[in-house]
Amino acid sequence: MNVELRYLHAFRTVCEAGGLRAAAAVLHRTEQSVSYQLRRLEESLGMPLFERRGGRLHPNAAGLRLLDFCRGMEHDWERVQQDMLGSTTQKYEPLRISSVRGYGQYVVRPLFRPGGALTHLPVRIQYPTFDGVMHNVESGESDLGFVFSLPVHTRMGHMAIDSEEIVLISPASDPPPDLNMGALENQTFVSYDESDFVFATWFGHVFGRPTPQLSVAAHFEEMEEVVNGVAAGYGISILPAACLLGHDMLPGIRILEDPAAICRNTIYAVFNAPPSHPDVERVLDALRALASQRLPGTDRAATSDGSS
């Protein structure tokens, strides 16, 4: 049995907040995303964890036992962290980064993995929504954030750090839809937490029009789950092309695009000025170097039929 920690975190938040809406606000996620995590947790455990009374979710007997476990695990983890910090001569705690998921998971996170430019730099990365990133940096909970747009008024330090290509993907097993508004309006889509912005950016760039009313067949949190869902035939989707690099399901998808209307979006770094952590500039330098070395089209991968 494999239970992901983020599902336990969502479960505990729902228990303590008293419902999906309140928990989603705390977690800076959509209600659909939190509900999905609860379903996956219950599926992993093979049992229900809640009962509904008076319009609110209440943990049942199994849920109460799991809630006690989660609270004990958090206490144990805090103790381990303190022990680890106490045993090192490092002057600063690990760098804390918040990023919108696509860019954070597929561009920022690899910098810190073996072979990356910042492998030995201690870091904690989380992937909240856009609002969550801004809140975490403004409140000091994160030292550095990455977002796909900037509020009109912000007192934080910020800079354009990179850009990402946004692509439309469809199941390779289905006939590709025509790239026109009428054809796409008749398709079913796979959505995710930040898809409203990504879809709007793509439709605005390709057609010069806002996102039409779309039929959504499935909603996921993880970008990997979005790609898997498209490959499985749930529908089509629009997402950052970096999410496709090295993905096991690439043979099951097709990238659809008009070479004359390739869509790119600017990525911004946000931070408190001056930066609250000495390693902020090292991360920004590494991302600048990565962006300068990236050739056109290399933030997406070719499909099995040779299209790209």
In this prediction, residue 295 has a pLDDT band, given cuts at 50, 70 and 90, of: low
pLDDT (mean) for 154-181? 91
Range of the domain at 73: 5-86
The per-residue pLDDT for 267 is 95
- Domain total in the chain: 2
Domain boundary residue, one of 31, 57, 86: 86
Please tell me the distance from the alpha carbon of residue 194 to that of residue 66, in angstroms, as a whole number.
30
Residue 24 has pLDDT above 90, yes or no: no
The per-residue pLDDT for 151 is 73
The per-residue pLDDT for 86 is 59
Residue 166 has pLDDT above 90, yes or no: yes
Domain boundary residue, one of 62, 86, 110: 86
Residue 85 has pLDDT above 80, yes or no: no
In this predicted structure, which of 46-55, 113-122, 235-244 has the lowest mean pLDDT? Answer: 46-55
Task: Indicate which CATH number applies to the domain containing 238.
Answer: 3.40.190.290
Query: Who wins on pLDDT, 162 or 81?
Result: 162
Q: Are residues 149 and 199 in the same domain?
A: yes
Q: What's the one-letter identity of residue 145?
A: G
Task: Indicate which CATH number applies to the domain containing 48.
Answer: 1.10.10.10
In this prediction, residue 30 has a pLDDT band, given cuts at 50, 70 and 90, of: confident
| 99 in Cβ contact with 287 (< 8 Å) | no
pLDDT digits (tens, 9 = 90+) for 168-197: 999 998 999 999 999 999 999 999 988 999
Q: Is the preceding peptide bond at 274 cis, omega within 30 degrees of 0? A: yes
Q: Are residues 172 and 45 in the same domain?
A: no
The per-residue pLDDT for 153 is 65
For residue 259, what is the enclosing H or E element? none
The per-residue pLDDT for 188 is 95
Residue percentage of the chain with pLDDT more than 70: 87
Residue 63 has pLDDT above 70, yes or no: yes
Residue 163 has pLDDT above 70, yes or no: yes
Residue 213 has pLDDT above 90, yes or no: yes
- Mean pLDDT estimate for the chain: 84
Rg of the chain (C-alpha set): 21
The per-residue pLDDT for 2 is 64
The per-residue pLDDT for 280 is 94
| 304 in Cβ contact with 250 (< 8 Å) | yes
Residue 276 has pLDDT above 60, yes or no: yes
Q: Are residues 36 and 131 in the same domain?
A: no
Q: Are residues 82 and 99 in the same domain?
A: no
Q: Are residues 105 and 59 in the same domain?
A: no
The per-residue pLDDT for 51 is 87
In this prediction, residue 247 has a pLDDT band, given cuts at 50, 70 and 90, of: low
In this prediction, residue 152 has a pLDDT band, given cuts at 50, 70 and 90, of: low
Q: Are residues 170 and 294 in the same domain?
A: yes
Q: What is the dihedral of CA 78, 8, 94, 164, to 10 degrees?
A: -170
Q: Are residues 249 and 165 in the same domain?
A: yes
The per-residue pLDDT for 299 is 63
Q: Are residues 163 and 263 in the same domain?
A: yes
Domain boundary residue, one of 86, 113, 131: 86
Q: Are residues 154 and 237 in the same domain?
A: yes
The pTM of the full predicted model, rounded to 2 decimals, is: 0.70
Q: Are residues 140 and 213 in the same domain?
A: yes
Please tell me the distance from the alpha carbon of residue 70 to that of residue 146, in angstroms, as a whole number.
29
What do you get for the CA distance between the two ends of the chain, in Å?
A: 37
Residue 98 has pLDDT above 80, yes or no: yes
Q: Are residues 260 and 297 in the same domain?
A: yes
Q: Are residues 303 and 239 in the same domain?
A: yes
In this predicted structure, which of 102-106, 244-248, 303-307 has the lowest mean pLDDT? Answer: 303-307
